[in-house]
Amino acid sequence: MNMPNTSYSSTTKTSTQMVMERNLMPRERLQHLGADALSNEELLAVLLRTGFRGTPVLTLAANLLRRHRGNLRSLRDASLEELRATPGMGLTKSLELMAAFALARRMANQELEKRPSMGSPKEVAQLLQGMFIGSRQEEFHVLLLDTQLQLLRDQLVSVGLVDRSLIHPREVFRNAIREASSQILLCHNHPSGNLIPSSYDIEATDRIVDAGEVIGIKVLDHIIVSGNTSSTEYFSFREHHLLKNYTEKKPPKKN
C-alpha cells in the first residue's frame, strides 16, 4: 500500500532541535522562540537576570512564584517587603520587578481608556482575557459600573474558591454601595479552558442577582473566560438565558 509522500521538514522539529531548545537559557529562549513559548518562571527569570549564592535564576523565579501560590496577580500586588521576603530578592531586584508590574498596569489602564464602556459581553470578555492571563487559580471578580456602563473599578472577591455558593453577596456589593455603582458585572475564569458554568456558578449567580434586586443594584451579566492567551471564547449567562430577568411591573388593567 502506497502512503502519501509527506514531508516533515517544515512542520516537525527534530529531536535534536527540541533538546537544544530545552537547553537554552530563558533569555535565549525569549530571543529565539518568543515570549509565548516561555513559562511564567522563565519570564520572571529574564526580569531577575541573575540568581544568588549558587542558586540559579530559574530556581529563584520558581521560589518567588511558589511563595505567591503561582498566582501572578498576587505577585503583582506584593509590597516591597513581601517581595524581599523571598531569599535572593534584594532591593534592586524587587524594585525592578515592581517597576515592570507598574508598567503592565499602566498599559492595562490605557486599554481601559480605549474601551471605557462595558456595553456588550464581547467587550467585557476582551478585558477579562487580558486580566486573567497566567492565572492558575479561579478568581471571582466584580466589575463596578456607572449608569453609562463605564468601568469604575475591578474588585477581586475570591481566589481559588471553586464552590462559589460560599461567596456571600455582602462581599460582592460592599464596594458597589460605597462607590454608588448602580450596576455590576460578575466574572471569573476557568483555567482548565472549559467555559461551561458549574452548578455552583449558577447557584451563586442566582443568589447575587436576588440580593442585588433587594438593594437596587442590577447584575447585568456573569462572564466566564479561560485566560488562555490563544482563546477569545467566553460564556455569557445573559446570552445563554441563565441570568434571572426581572420584568417591570405592569399597571393593573382598567375595567
Domain boundary (51, 80, 109) is at 109
Chain centre distance of CA 188: 8
**Cβ neighbours of residue 165 closer than 8 Å, sequence gap 6 or more:** 200, 203, 204, 207
Identify whether residues 71 and 30 lie together within a single domain: yes
Per the structure block, which three cell numbers stand in for 66? 511558589
Whether pLDDT at 192 is above 70: yes
Contact by Cβ (8 Å): 57, 45: yes
Q: Is residue 242 part of a domain?
A: no
How do residues 106-136 score in pLDDT, each as one tens digit? 877 676 565 446 788 988 888 888 788 767 7
Q: Is residue 249 part of a domain?
A: no
Q: Give the per-residue pLDDT at 255.
A: 43
The owner of cell 529574564 is 46
How do residues 9-43 score in pLDDT, each as one tens digit? 344 545 544 444 455 788 898 888 888 888 999 99
Cα dist from 229 to 34, 50, 165, 183, whole Å = 14, 27, 28, 29
Identify whether residues 161 and 66 lie together within a single domain: no
The answer to whether the Cα torsion of 171, 69, 109, 239 is positive or negative is negative
Q: Is residue 9 part of a domain?
A: no
Higher pLDDT: 137 or 57? It is 57
Identify whether residues 150 and 192 lie together within a single domain: yes
Q: Give the per-residue pLDDT at 252.
A: 44
Q: Print the domain residue range for 22.
A: 16-109
The mean-pLDDT minimum among 63-67, 70-74, 197-201, 209-213 falls in 70-74
Identify whether residues 24 and 105 lie together within a single domain: yes
Q: Is residue 245 part of a domain?
A: no
Q: Is residue 211 part of a domain?
A: yes
Q: Is residue 88 part of a domain?
A: yes
